[in-house]
Structure 1
Amino acid sequence: PHAALGLLFGVDRSTITRAIGEMRGLLAERGCAVPDRPGLRLRTLADVFAYAQAEGIELRLDATEVQVRRPPAGRGGRRAFVSGKKKQNTMKATVVADHEGRTLWTDALRPGRMHDATAARNEGIGTCFQHFSDVEVLLDDGYLGLRRDHPGQAVTPPRKGNKISPPEVLEARLRARHRHSSKRITVEHALADHKRWKQLVRWTHRRENLPATYRAIAGLVSDRNTTD
C-alpha cells in the first residue's frame, strides 16, 4: 500500500502516489527493447513492422484480456467492457512478439467487448501491411478478416476440413494447423510472461491507469528477456 511505502520513506502517502503515477507514465513511453540493439526501442506498431522487414523477422500477434472493475450503473458505454468470451468486465491488450517470444509492442488497450481484429485495425495494422509488404504476421482463427484483407501477410491456420472431406485431407489440414500453432505459440509465452505480474491477473484500480501500467510492464518484461 502507498501508505506503507510512505511510512518506510518518511513521506506522505500522496507523495508516493504522485511519484508512482509519474514513473508509470515514463515506463509506458519507453517502449520495448530491441534484441541485440542496445539503446534502440520500439514504441509504435510501425516501428515493429519496420524492424521486422529490415531484419527478416516473422511476427506473432495475439490479444489477451485483463479483468477490470465494473463501471458504475448509469454510466455511458458500460456494456463496452463486457467481454463476449469471458463474460466479465475486461480490457483487451494486443501484443506483438517475435519467434523467441520476446515482446516487441503492445497497444493502448481497448474495451473487452471489441473484437480482436477490430482492435488491431484501430491500431493501424492495415496501413502497416501496406507500407511493409514483406512482413508476415502469424495469427489465430480470430483474425480471419485480416487474412481476407491482407492475403500472404496476415497468416492464419488452415480451416478445418468438413465431415465429407477425405481422411487424408483432414489429416493434412490437422498437421498444417499443428505446425502453425507450434510457430505461433511464442506469442502465448510472451502473454504468460505479462500475466506473471499480479496486477495483470485482475486489475482492481482505476481503469484509466491500466493501459499505462500494462505498457510499462511489457517494457520491463522485454528488457529482461532481451538481456537474458
Structure 2
Amino acid sequence: MSTMDYSKARELMVEQQVRPWDVLDLRVLEVMATLPREAFVPAAHRALAYGDLSLPLGHGEFTLKPVVEGRALQALLLEPGDDVLVLGDASGYLTACAGRLAREVLAVERNEAFAHAARAALAEQAIGNAQIVVADPLQWTTERRFSAILVAGAVDTIPERFVDWLQPGGRMFVVRGRSPAMEAVLVRNDVNGSRIQSLFETDLPYLAGAAPAPTFQF
C-alpha cells in the first residue's frame, strides 16, 4: 500500500484551490504550503486533509475548507508583531497558521478534547507562540485587546464583545448571517467606531451557541 505524498498534496491544494480563489498573499500561501494540515485532523480523515471540503472532527464540529481558511488569513493581513485571538478553531490549524504569521496567538476553544489534541499538534510542529484556553467564546471575558481576531465559525449577528476585544486599528474576520446565504466580513475598529467590509459569500456551521433562535411556524 503506497504512502500518501502529503507534501505534493499540500502543493496541489495551494495551486489548484487556494490561489485560484484569490488568495495571493505570499506569506499566507507559504504557510499553507508548508504547515502539515493532516496533523490537525483525525487520523481517519488524513487522506482527505487537502481536499476542497470540510472534514468532520467529531462532536458535531467540522474544519473549514482550505479556501476559506486562506481567505480568512489573507483578509487579516497578519504582521509579525501582531497579537491574534482565534475563536472556535476546533482543529487548531488556523491557530497554527496564525502562529507562523504573527507574534502571539491565543485561541479559545470550548471543547476540552479538541483543545488537548490541538495543543499536541502545535507542540509537534514546534509552534510555541500559540496558547489554547478552554472556554466558551460567547461567555469568556478578558481585559486584553488584540490586533486581529479570527472567528472560525459563523454567527447570526456579530457579538459586541468580539468587537470590544479589538485594539484601535484592529480587524476581525467573521462570517455572519443565516444559511445558506452567509457573508464573510472584515470588521475594522476605527477611530469613529467599527467599519464592516464585505468579503465573499459562504455557508459555515455556526459557532456553538451562536445560531439564530429557532422560529416557530403556526
Give the TM-score normalised by structure 1.
0.24
- From the two aligned structures, give the one with the greater helix fraction: 1
Determine which structure has more spread, i.e. the larger CA radius of gyration. 1
User: Which protein has greater RCO, CA pairs closer than 8 Å, 6+ apart?
Assistant: 1
